[in-house]
Amino acid sequence: MHGDRVGEDDESILSRTLEDLGGLLGIDGRPEIARVERWRPAIPQYVIGHGDLKAAAASSERDSPGLFLSGNTLLGISVADCVVHAHAVAARADAFLSEHFS
């Protein structure tokens, strides 16, 4: 979609992403942790052992209340997968916040 952007430096990509998300979600500020991953002309491929990584991510979420993990490298590479899982994570985060901060 924006193949020319893979050549930009990490900070430029992160800044543009935060600007886009800020406008869409009405948020500002920077994440505690951010990583830029470039998928040059290819669809990301899961490596052998990806199931173990998914299990470790699920375990981390269980062991760290308030931690919610998502993204195409974890749960599905398509935009549709990302949207479905983002909605599920948002619902879990909303339930957590309602329970702990209402």
Tell me the chain's radius of gyration from C-alpha atoms.
15
Helix intervals (H) in the chain: 10-25, 50-63, 72-75, 79-101
SS3 34: coil
Contacts with 62 (C-beta within 8 Å, 6 or more apart), sequence order:
none
Tens-digit pLDDT string for the chain (102 aa):
456 677 889 999 999 889 988 888 888 888 889 988 887 766 767 889 999 999 999 999 999 999 999 888 888 888 888 899 999 999 999 999 999 997
Supply the pLDDT for residue 63. 96
Contacts with 92 (C-beta within 8 Å, 6 or more apart), sequence order:
68
Contacts with 37 (C-beta within 8 Å, 6 or more apart), sequence order:
73
Supply the pLDDT for residue 72. 84
SS3 86: helix
Task: Please state the separation of Cα 75 from the chain's center in Å.
Answer: 10
